[in-house]
Every structure is written in structure tokens, then in C-alpha cells.
Chain A
Amino acid sequence: MTDLTRKTAVELAELMTSGQASSVEITQAHLDRIAAVDGAVQAFLHVDTEGALAQAAEVDRKRGAGEQLGPLAGVPLALKDVLTQEGVPTTAGSKILEGWKPPYDSTVVKRLRSAGIVILGKTNMDEFAMGSSTENSAYFTTHNPWDLGRIPGGSGGGSSAAVAAYEAPLAIGTDTGGSIRQPGAFTGTVGVKPTYGGTSRYGLIALASSLDTPGPCARTTLDTALLHEAIAGYDPMDSTSIKQDVPPVVDAARRADVNGLRIGVVKELGGEGYQPGVEARFHESVELLTKLGAEVVEVSCPHFQYALPAYYLILPSEASSNLAKFDAMRYGLRVGDDGVNSAEKVMSLTREAGFGDEVKRRIMLGTHALSSGYYDAYYGQAQKVRTLIQRDFANAYEQVDVLVSPATPTTAFPIGDRADDPIAMYKNDLCTIPVNLAGNAAASFPCGLADEDDLPVGFHVMAPVMRDDLLYQVGSALEAALAEQWGGVLMAQAPELEVTR
């Protein structure tokens, strides 16, 4: 039998509907692949072998009984460890939650279950999603399947690496400043940040509540769109959820047509600080889209340059208050409870022991930004910058349908390279952060390998609020044209991982 782990989600679904493979066989093949390569990749914090096989058996039983099933029923998926799944360890990459088993499912997990999607396990991430490399995980660093000496991006590096290492055809990430798109770019996979409020945050361990957005990851645009459709839509459990129909993302991915589409290249997202190989692949992709009939113009978004500083005020401010809940009283770690220490002392000792450096940095930065005398100068000003960035987008969308840029200024960097240089690390997300501040939709699609290092480059597409379908329209057109050029998808060029038995 052909290797089931090399199939797309769509192909796996076809094998199941035609009776050529069962979900249990497909799930087992992916569990075997995890056993063979995850020692090197380290994408998973927890593999739920029994739970996954039970979910798969249930899908097979339903299919056998002739029940109506969703298009991805029986397909396995890797879940970022920041979303709760009842009874399965959920840590958000932090020691403070080590061993915690949530008593409820997040909305994303509920929807995955009702779609019959099989959850293989929980993927590694930077602690509380604070980081761009997984090096801030309290457990271990995930390795990039394209080059095991390099980071896979972050915070959702585990999810993207799992997909790129053929450990799962689908994965869920969360994007607060680029945590789906940047790892997607670094691993040669597709990553989509839906419109804020388009996917539910219920059961997502909050980093920055006004920015956090769950979204889909996969190796192809169509697989990503199908997963997007499965998890998106209004949820009464999330008060910021949008009460509208899910944009027609699957139709758009199938249409793969940019003829007549107006595309704006963001002038400010390029030039100094951008790796030549990244810019080369980006501009070739823009040319390719022009050949496919898109009208391309240059667009200026003058306030994007302030997105990074504004983000590093808004995020730490929200994070510092969200993470106040880790107080050693109701769940998670408790340190120093010796019968003498006060609750406050225990709290301080626990947070000292349970949080890593980056979490401490951001909590203190947020505490500073929100303290009296600084609030207006920092947080208040940052919120005004947010308005200016929204206006930049609004002005741009009067001229064009979508905006494009490289997804990241560079390709994946070596492990350890920026681990103790927070500002260099923050600059990874220069291209992705403006969208989070404005709340619209964006995606990264693989667009080739940089000449300098043969590592994947991501093509970033930014669409207006609730026009997530446009991302897929551009991404699938680009994917088809590039596949024709290369004689296959980019992932086919990835080096084979050594398999251990």
C-alpha cells in the first residue's frame, strides 16, 4: 500500500469514502510516522494514541452504518497545546500547567469532533504562545523538518512542523502576531489567520484577547480551506464572535482564479532587513500572479512601521492581566505551600518557578505599560496606532482587493541564534503583526526556496475583514501555477527525515 502519510486530507477522505482505507489505518499510519520521526522533530508534547484510535474507530463505525459524515471525517490532525481538549493534558507550553487536564473542550475541539476529525495529540509551542521559534517552550525546542538545526517558527512551530514532517495532514494553530503564518512560511506549509472573531476563542488559553485567533494549517490550500470551514463560524460562548456566515473559503480554494483581481504590494514591507532570497521569491510570485491576470499595484501603508511597537504594548498589557489567573490556587503548579508561607508568597514563588523568561518579560512590560502615569503614553497611544493601521488598510482596500508581502523578513534561523535577543526575535513578525492589530484575515502560502539557504519562503496575503475567501483564491492560484513550474508541490522538495524504528 502507498504511504498514507504522504496523502493530502482530500486524498485521505477519498480513500475512506471509496472504502480503500479506514480511518483506523490512516490514524495508525500517522501514529507510526510520529513514532519514527518525532524523536528528531519534537513537534508533539503529547501523543494521544488511544484517544485517536478510538475516535478513528468511531468514524469507521459511523461510515459503516451509512451515517452522513463531513468532508474531513476520519482525517487525523495535530492540535496546538493552547486549546483545551477534555481529559487530555494541556500545558500551553508552560511548566505552570504541567499535568493539567482540562475539564471541558474548546469550541474548536468540539467542532473538530463533530466533523469527525481525529486528534492525534498536542503540539509544542512557545510558552503561552509568546515567541517566534518554540525556543520559549518550557519543555523542548521543535526542529524544522527542512533543516533540523533550525527553528520551525513560532509560536505554533509544533503544529507546522508536524504537518511538514508528514506526522499529520492537518493542524490547528493560533495567531496573535503571526504564530500560524510565520511557522507556515518557515516550514513550507500553508497557514491561515482567519478574521478576528471568525473562529472562536472559547477554550483557547488567552494570550492577548483582542488579538488571539485560532486557524488552520495544512500542506495544501484546499486542505486548509476545508479545515477552516470545519472550525469557523459564530459561537455564542465567545462574546467577540462574529454573527455572520463563514466566508466561502472552500469554493474560493477550488476556483483558484485571480483574473481581474487587484493586488497591492505593500511598499513598507520590504527592502532593508529583508533577505534577498525572500524578496526574490516574493517578487517572482507577484509576477506569476500578474501573468495569471491579476492587476498589481504598489500600495503605501505608512503606519505599518509603528505596528511592532504598538503590538509590544497591547500584547503584554493584555497578557499581564490574562496571566494573573495563574495564581496557584485553583489549578496548575503550587510552590512553597509549607503551612507557613502566605497565599501571596506562594503565588509569587509559584509564578517565579512556573513561568519562563519571556513570559516574565512580557508580564512585567505589561504591568509597566498599564501602571498609572504610563497608561496614556503607552497603552492609550498604542490603541491609537491601531486605529491608524486600520485606516491604512481601509485606504488600501479602496484601491485593491488584497494586499501582499513576504510573510517573514528572513527564512528559518538556526536554533539558539536569537534565543536571548528579544528584539531580534520580535522583528520576525514585522509583516504579520499589522493584520492582528487591525483584525482582518491573512495567510502564508509556500512560494519557493531562498537561494542562500534552500529554505522555504512564505507569500503573505492580507484580505479585508470577513473576506477570508480571497486568501484562498490567491493562494490556490499561486499554488497551482508554482506546482506546474516545479512539477509538484514545494513540500516534495523537502529532504527525507531519517526514520528511527
Chain B
Amino acid sequence: MAGSGRNQPVILRNQLDQFMPSITREEVAHLARLARIELTDAELDHLAPQLDQIIALVGQVSQVAADDIPPTSHALPITNVMRPDENVPCLTPEQALAGAPAAEEQRFRVPRILEED
């Protein structure tokens, strides 16, 4: 995702300077589908304008950083953290399944995954 073109931030920044970033009700409905949340129409009416306001607020960041500023993804630079390659005790199947909504034959029972057609 990050590598989708180095010039893109500049173009988008210019666009955002001209237009306040915004989001439509249809786009919010799409996001809800992507996020696997079955929103009701009433919720969409309520949440879409709020998200629009929030996106206008967060859009301010596009005005700030110059291209030569490196991003910080973590507060402290710690890289390649490995644990020793040793066996350690883990949960028993009973413990792991104890919180499952449904379990069968020492496995998680899930709704059907494939479409019927």
C-alpha cells in the first residue's frame, strides 16, 4: 500500500489544500462493508456526517510534513526482536476453546465459509 507511488502525497496534498477532504454516505456504507460491520440505515445517517467532520479535522496533517521528513512508526527504534527458539508451555485445547462461541471435537465450530452456489 505504502509503495503506491512516491509522487502521490504531493498531488494529494495539493488537492487537499484546495478542497476540504470529505466523505459521502455511500463511501461510509462501503467502509462499513470493508470493516464487516452491518450498519443500519439509521446508523449511517448518524455516523456519516460525524465521520465527514472528523476527516476534515484529520486532513490537516496533509499540510504539515515536507517530503524529506522520515515517518516514525514506533516511538523507540527497536528492530528484529526475536525470542529464543525454545519450546514453552502453551494453552491446552480445553483452555483455548473455553471462550469459543461454539466448539466441536476439540475444534472451533464456525458458520459455513463457502457460498452455496
Contact = CB atoms under 8 A, between A and B. Distances in A.
A369 B1 CA distance: 11
Interface string A322-359: 00000111111110010101111111110110010100
Given A100-B99, A380-B71, A465-B76, A313 B1 contact: no
A439 B76 contact: yes
Contacts of A438: 75
Contacts of B76: 196-197, 240, 242, 439, 465
Interface string A371-397: 111111110111111111010000000
Contacts of A339: 111
Interface string A396-437: 000000000000000000000000001100100000000001
Nearest to A307: B61
B35 A361 contact: no
A101 interface: yes
A347 B37 CA distance: 8
Given A349-B38, A364-B31, A368-B23, A386 B58 contact: no
A465 B102 CA distance: 45
A330 B108 contact: yes
B35 A363 contact: yes
Contacts, number: 204
Interface string B79-103: 0010100000001000110111110
Contact residues on A (Cβ < 8 Å of other chain), bracket: 35 or more
B106 interface: no
A260 to B, nearest CB: 28
B78 A240 contact: yes
B110 to A, nearest CB: 5
A361 B47 contact: yes
Interface in A450-499: 465
A113 B101 CA distance: 30
Given A332-B101, A343-B110, A438-B75, A239 B57 contact: no
A320 B31 CA distance: 11
B60 A306 contact: yes
B16 to A, nearest CB: 7
A373 B1 CA distance: 8
A306 B47 contact: no
B25 interface: no
B56 to A, nearest CB: 9
Given A309-B58, A465-B76, A239 B37 contact: no
Contacts of A373: 4, 8
Most chain A CB within 10 A, of B51, B57, B59, B65, is at: B65
A334 B101 contact: yes
A337 B64 CA distance: 47
A395 B112 CA distance: 57
Most chain A CB within 10 A, of B35, B38, B61, is at: B61
B83 to A, nearest CB: 6
A111 interface: no
B16 A376 contact: no
Given A312-B57, A348-B37, A351-B36, A380 B75 contact: no
B102 A337 contact: yes
B58 A313 contact: yes
A343 B112 contact: yes
B101 A337 contact: yes
Contact of B16 (A197, A377, A386): A377
A343 B37 contact: no
Contacts of A239: 78, 81
B38 A351 contact: yes
Contacts of A381: 9, 13, 61-62, 64-65
Contact of A330 (B28, B83, B99): B99
A274 interface: no
Contact of A309 (B33, B60, B99, B102): B60
A102 B91 CA distance: 11
A211 B75 CA distance: 8
Given A365-B55, A371-B34, A422-B50, A388 B64 contact: yes
B4 A377 contact: no
Contacts of B96: 103
Given A310-B61, A387-B65, A380 B100 contact: no
Contact of A370 (B1, B28, B47): B1
Q: What are the nearest 8 A-B pairs in CB distance? A: A439-B75, A384-B65, A383-B71, A334-B101, A331-B99, A377-B12, A239-B81, A352-B38
Interface of B: 1-2, 4-5, 8-9, 12-13, 16, 23, 27-28, 31-40, 43, 46-47, 50-51, 53-55, 57-62, 64-65, 69-76, 78, 81, 83, 91, 95-96, 98-102, 108, 110-113, 115
8 contacts: A334-B102, A364-B47, A375-B4, A377-B16, A381-B65, A382-B61, A386-B72, A440-B75
Given A384-B65, A423-B57, 9 more contacts: A309-B59, A332-B101, A333-B101, A343-B111, A365-B54, A375-B4, A388-B64, A423-B54, A465-B76
